[in-house]
Chains A and B, each alone.
Chain A
Amino acid sequence: MGKWTRRAFIGTGVVAGGALVVGVAIRPGNRAGKVAGLIANENDTVVNVWVKIGSDNTVTAIIPHAEMGQGVHTSLAMMLADEMDADWESVRMLEAPAHEEYANYPLTRGYALGDVAIPRALIGTVDGAFLRIARSMDLQITGGSTSVRLTGQFGMRIAGAAAREVLLEAAAKQWQLPIAELTSSNSTITHSPSGQSATYAELADAASKLTPPSKPTLKTADRFRIMGTSRPRFDIPAKVDGSAKFGIDAELPNMKYAAVKASPVFGGSVREYDEASALAMPGVLKVVDLGSALAVIADGYWQAQQAINTIRIEFNGGDNAGREQSDIYQQFATNLDTANSDGGGTTDFKTGNAEKAITKAATILEVEYRVPYLAHAAMEPLNCTAWVHDDCCEIWTGSQNPLGFRAAVADALEMKDSRVTVNNHYLGGAFGRRSDPDYAVQAARIAATVSYPVKLIWSREEDTQQDHYRAAALSRFKGGLNDNGYPIAWINQFVDKHEPVEASHIPYKIDNQYIHYTDSKTHIPWGPWRSVDHTQHGFFTESFIDELAHSAGIDPYLYRRNLLEDSPRHRDILDLAASKARWGQPLPANHGRGIALQKSFNSIVAEVVEVSIIDGKLKIERVVCAVDAGIAINPDGLIAQMESGIIYGLTAALYGDITIRRGAVAQSNFHDYEILRIDESPPIETYIINSGASLGGAGEPGTPAVAPALANAIYAASGIRIRNLPVKNHDLGGNSAEALDIA
């Protein structure tokens, strides 16, 4: 905590109605007074900016993150409630309004303390300036698997502990008893010797007149009562009866609907369109030329979409209109060759002297891997409702970055940020896509041409073809083994680097490593995709280490294990996955197991995939996952996120293949951008180690290891080494390259 708590400021304030307030601000300056009006109802006392206590003794946690299925509203409330000794049954949550006062300071502070790299892509959407975080901290971001490990650790827990301490002090003063004789539990303070007790609600007013502690004491793990236990998620009841409100469910009086078609070639523009025939169609009200896209506004969404589908629109694709996927892969190869021959490129990591060491290797293995572009394909197509009126713009949407959206919309409409209001909703999947404000800007620009509110909904085709994609990449390896078959040199060269910086680094003890990359720019827009660069590098590095093991004739699990002597947490998690998967025990013919290990977002995950390949048909029999996230705050939630990350990663490994044809994305909907379905979904077992290390993320770390574990399993079952994803493009034993049928 150290530096962090010294920067925290805890103070008091007053809300309307005369109730006194205690505020905790995790930056200089007392924010309680300012935010009270945004979140307090009458008779509520805001105990600090992260929590309020109602007159009925309910404790409401104020959560500055969006709920997109990762369960963050619940796990963050658990962290606060535990430190506060609140009665869990009467804990509620409220998503913080999109307001500077709730900007995600803990995330920024975690970054400043070096705990985590903030996903650059998310920052980039806030006016494009990375340094801006330091200046204005204008963030309220959900991404980078940061919520629990930063907001939770540096915000919610401190807030809960401070609230508890100031309530204890209030009771001690009121009863004229030493604090040491008082205990707190279930939102009540008790003096056992005398039998006196008071609820938090009864003490809140007195507490708010006191100076809160500057350094509240946090619980040690052995005193957790709520953290570390599985609690049902707050958001689930509304998600089983249809009442949960997503962005697409925003409803306003006199609202109209818009559909849009952007230039299929990224960077292109609208050249010509048939406005008259659009306006002649039923329900159509207006055609809006946005330059890069054409929009139609109509009485209903279907009418708008029919119009945009039907009318003639010509686009000017520009210089990229002839680009093919093969050109892009060729460009990657050429850029790597050039960087090698002229010494260009950038060093990513270097230790020892790999180029010299490899000349002394007993065996050298050289391999190249490739992964394609991937779309996010969240179930809720991108949408945003906007209403521009009275020099203001209000938007209703689902966003991972509401303050960034506010800034982008304000910029597009040439308004001050304060004139834009973002009403955030549940996110119908995000996986990184809902951090980019392009769809909100589009909606605002369309709405700015009319007086009424407009709900813009992207078709599935638009969602697939106008994504910001997980980058395609090429990665080349050269490994040198000693006489015992173990690596003495690891040379890796790849195109394109985004984040996190350590994604391409390996946990294995290899004395001589040279990892380097070169940029290879394309016109395909990039976006963070669940676990970001780890999705590529997990596949590359964990496939290559497997190839080295096989080339040495050593069991790939033991091979990894023997290279982890300096990384006991990695070794423990690898051992757990292997033992639960019954690694080494015989399997039927044509079955195989593959293992992979990847630390990402501070969580270490090992996965074992078991497959069968019979008559060229691949079946995933079972996936075993072991995860060390430090401490699992909500264990069932962590398990759910591992299952989710694994299935998301399996979809990508088996099917994911966005390809570029004539400058545009060739795929359009779920028939040609296939998604794993329930009949292909394997049983998944997840096992948790609570190592007590600093907290790790949950939303992303399940994804990276599954593609290499699958490819390694396919090799074990068939001897076929998958070096290019997706698997569907490979013949696994049938006679035709197109015969592969995922059973």
Chain B
Amino acid sequence: MSIKLTVNGEAKKVEVDPDTPLLWVIREQLGLLGTKFGCGKALCGACTVHLNDRPVRSCTTPVRAAADQRITTIEGIGSAAGTLHAVQQAWIDEQVPQCGYCQSGQIMSAVALLATNQTPTDQDIDHAMRGNICRCGTYPRIRNGIRRAAAVLATDTGAKE
């Protein structure tokens, strides 16, 4: 079956069983390998992408549910010119990743949080991020990274106003 998707702003068409999880379409059909497989059951968040700007677990989202809609992956959150998103830069500044495998999903969840809440409390961070497991235990730095990115985004917004 032919399914149309908009991925990171580009129109794509894939021939695939519509029940195929979006994750495997992104990785195997579209060759975007930054989105990771962790559990296959929406338990760990490694596969998090944005569907119309909202975070979803692509390992349990059938591709048919994303047909004709906007998907954003880790490869699509920076600017077209190659500038990192504030969350990505904060991840470098706070030296967040260790093995790095879960971090695409962590960053996608954090970006989605800050898109709707520019001044998250600790509870907001917990709520938005508790679906993302990190086995290297980078949680303290993820917290710091989100706080730093929030501060940067607030400054940017202030400068524009």
Q: Which residues of A contact B (CB under 8 A)?
A: 68-71, 232-233, 235-246, 248-249, 251, 257, 282, 300-303, 305, 377-381, 426-431, 457, 459-460, 636, 640, 643-648, 669-671, 675-679, 681, 683-684
Partner of A681, one of B38, B135, B139: B139
Are B135's CB and A241's CB within 8 A? no
Residues of A within 8 A of B101 (CB): 246, 378-380, 426, 428-429
Evaluate whether A679 and B24 lie within 8 angstroms (CB atoms) in the complex, with A240-B107, A670-B44 already known: no
Given contacts A245-B33, A251-B31, contact A69 B139 (CB under 8 A): no
Q: Is the CB of A379 within 8 A of B33?
A: no
Is B81 among interface residues, defined by CB-CB distance under 8 A? no
Q: List 13 A-B contacts (CB under 8 A).
A: A70-B98, A240-B107, A242-B33, A251-B31, A379-B134, A380-B36, A430-B99, A460-B43, A460-B44, A646-B137, A676-B137, A678-B132, A679-B129
Assess whether B92 is interfacial by the CB under 8 Å rule: yes
Q: Give chain A residues whose Cβ lies under 8 Å from the Cβ of B20.
A: 300, 302
Residue B46 at the A interface, CB < 8 A? Answer: yes
Is there an interface contact between A669 and B130, defined as CB atoms closer than 8 Å? no
B135 touches A429 (CB 8 A): yes
Is B136 in the interface zone, CB < 8 Å from A?
A: yes
- In the bound complex, what is the Cα–Cα distance between A64 and B125 (angstroms)? 39
A218→B81 CA distance, assembly (Å)? 45
Structural contact, B103 and A240, CB atoms closer than 8 A: yes
Residues of B within 8 A of A429 (CB): 99, 101, 135-136
Which residue of the partner chain, among A69, A381, A675, contacts B98 with CB atoms under 8 Å?
A69
User: Which of B41, B88, B91, B132 touches A460 (beta carbons < 8 Å)?
Assistant: B41
The answer to whether B99 and A242 touch across the interface, beta carbons within 8 angstroms, is: no
Name the contact of B28 in the complex, choosing from A235, A241, A301 (C-beta under 8 A).
A301
Helix, strand, loop or mixed for chain B's interface?
Answer: loop
4 new A-B contacts, CB < 8 A, other than A69-B98, A379-B101, are A241-B84, A378-B101, A431-B135, A644-B138
List, in ascending order, chain B residues with CB within 8 A of A239's CB.
Answer: 91, 97, 100, 103
Question: How would you classify the secondary structure of chain A's contact residues: helix, strand, loop or mixed?
Answer: loop
Contact between A681 and B140 (Cβ–Cβ < 8 Å)? yes
State A459–B33 Cα separation when bound (angstroms): 17
A464: min CB distance to chain B, Å: 10
Shortest C-beta distance, B74 to chain A (Å), equals 4
* Docked CA distance A669–B20 (Å): 20
Interface pairs A-B: 5 shortest CB-CB = A242-B34, A647-B137, A69-B98, A428-B101, A239-B100
Give every chain B residue within 8 A of A70 (Cβ-Cβ): 98
- In the complex, chain A residues whose CB is within 8 Å of the CB of B17: 282, 303
**Judging by beta carbons under 8 Å apart, are B36 and A232 in contact?**
no
Query: Of the candidates B35, B78, B84, B136, which one forms a contact with A69 in the assembled complex, judged by CB atoms under 8 Å apart?
Result: B136
Residue on A with the closest CB to B29?
A300
Question: Does A242 lie within 8 Å of B38, measured CB to CB?
Answer: no
Question: B133 contacts the other chain (Cβ, under 8 Å)?
Answer: yes
One of A232, A427, A648, A676 near B95 (C-beta < 8 A): A232
Q: How far is the CA of A457 from the CA of B84 in the complex (A)?
A: 31
Kindly state the separation between the CA atoms of A249 and B92 in the bound complex, as whole angstroms.
22
B-side contacts of A282, CB under 8 Å: 17
Residues of B within 8 A of A677 (CB): 130-133, 139
Shortest Cβ gap from A441 to chain B (Å): 22
A510 to chain B, nearest CB (A): 34
By beta carbon, the residue of chain B nearest A243 is: B34
CA A445 to CA B62, docked complex, whole Å: 32
**B68 interface contact, C-beta 8 A:** no
CB <8 Å contact, A683 and B92: no
Q: Is the CB of B98 within 8 A of A683?
A: no
Chain B: minimal CB distance from A285 (Å): 15
Chain A proximity mask over B101-132: 1 for CB below 8 Å, otherwise 0: 11110010000000000000000011101111
With known contacts A302-B20, A648-B137, A428–B99 Cβ distance under 8 A: yes
Best-buried of B37, B102, B143 by chain A (most CB within 10 Å): B37
Question: Complex Cα distance A233/B100, Å?
Answer: 12
Interchain CA distance A508-B46 in the complex, whole Å? 44
> Judging by beta carbons under 8 Å apart, are B34 and A640 in contact?
no
Return the contact of B39 from the options A235, A240, A460 (Cβ within 8 A): A460
Query: Quick check: A378 and B135 within 8 Å, CB to CB?
Result: yes
Return chain B residues, CB-CB under 8 Å to A233. Answer: 95
Known contacts A242-B104, A379-B133, A381-B37; A684/B140 CB under 8 A: yes
- For A647, give the chain B residue with the smallest CB separation: B137
Q: B78–A241 contact, CB under 8 A?
A: yes
Most buried by B among A251, A379, A670: A379
- Say yes or no: is B141 at the interface (Cβ < 8 Å to chain A): yes
Count residues of B near A (Cβ-Cβ below 8 Å).
Answer: 56
Q: Tell me the bound Cα distance from A237 to B104 in angstroms.
A: 12
- Give the docked Cα–Cα distance between A390 and B147 (Å): 54
Smallest beta-carbon distance B92→chain A, Å = 6
B152 at the interface (CB under 8 A from A): no
Contacts of A246 in B (CB 8 A): 36, 100-101
Which among B97, B127, B136 has the highest number of chain A CB atoms within 10 Å? Answer: B136
Q: Among A237, A380, A681, which residue has its beta carbon within 8 angstroms of that of B92?
A: A237
Q: Check: B153 CB closer than 8 A to any chain A CB.
A: no
Tell me the complex Cα distance, A21–B88, Å. Answer: 40
Least CB distance from A623 to B in Å reads 10
A contact residues around B137 at 8 Å (CB): 643-648, 676, 681
Rounded to whole Å, the gap between the CB of B39 and the closest CB of chain A is: 4
Give chain A residues whose Cβ lies under 8 Å from the Cβ of B46. Answer: 379
A648-B135 in contact (CB<8A): yes
Residues in A with CB closer than 8 Å to B97 are 69, 235-236, 239-240
Distance in angstroms from B23 CB to nearest chain A CB is: 8
Please tell me if the beta carbons of A241 and B34 are within 8 angstroms of each other in the complex: yes
Known contacts A379-B99, A379-B135: does B130 contact A679 (CB below 8 Å)? yes
* Smallest beta-carbon distance B82→chain A, Å: 9
Shortest C-beta distance, A470 to chain B (Å), equals 14
Query: Could you say which residues of chain A place their CB within 8 Å of the CB of B130?
Result: 677-679
Known: A242-B74, A644-B98, A683-B140. A236 touches B32 (CB 8 A): no
Chain A nearest CB from B73 CB (Å) reads: 7
Contact A671 B135 (CB under 8 A): no
Chain B residues whose CB sits within 8 angstroms of the CB of A303 once the complex forms = 17
Instruction: Fill in one digit per residue for B55-99: 1 if any A CB lies within 8 Å of its CB, else 0.
Output: 000000000000000000111001000001000100110011111
A241 with B95: in contact, given A459-B40, A684-B140 (CB under 8 Å)? no
User: Do A236 and B92 have beta carbons less than 8 Å apart?
Assistant: yes
Complex CA–CA separation, A670 to B40 (angstroms): 10
Partner of B36, one of A248, A643, A675: A248
CA distance A42 to B101 in the complex (A): 34
Q: Which residue of A has the minimal Cβ distance to B73?
A: A242
Closest to B132 in A: A678
A236 with B91: CB separation less than 8 A = yes
Complex CA gap A379/B45 in Å reads: 10
Q: Which residue of B lies closest to A431 (CB)?
A: B135
| Nearest chain B CB to A208 CB, angstrom units | 37
Q: Does B150 contact A (CB under 8 A)?
A: no
Closest to B77 in A: A241
Do A457 and B37 have beta carbons less than 8 Å apart? yes
* Complex alpha-carbon distance, A426 and B138, angstroms: 17
Nearest CB to that of A671 among chain B residues?
B43
In the complex, B142 has a CB within 8 A of chain A:
yes
Q: How far is the CB of B105 from chain A (nearest CB, A)?
A: 9
* Distance in angstroms between the alpha carbons of A282 and B19 in the assembled complex: 12
In the complex, the answer to whether A248 meets B135 with C-beta atoms within 8 Å is no
Q: Return chain B residues, CB-CB under 8 Å to A459.
A: 40
CB distance from B95 to the nearest CB of A (A): 6
Which residues on B sit within 8 Å (CB–CB) of A251? 31, 33
Q: Which of A248, A377, A678 contacts B142 (CB 8 A)?
A: A678
Contacts of B88 in A (CB 8 A): 240-241
A643–B74 CB distance below 8 A: no
Q: How far is the CB of A675 from chain B (nearest CB, A)?
A: 5
B136 to chain A, nearest CB (A): 5
CB nearest neighbor in A for B88:
A240
Residues of chain A with a CB closer than 8 A to B132's CB: 677-678
Chain B minimum-CB-distance residue to A300 = B28
Chain B's nearest CB lies how many Å from the CB of A527? 16
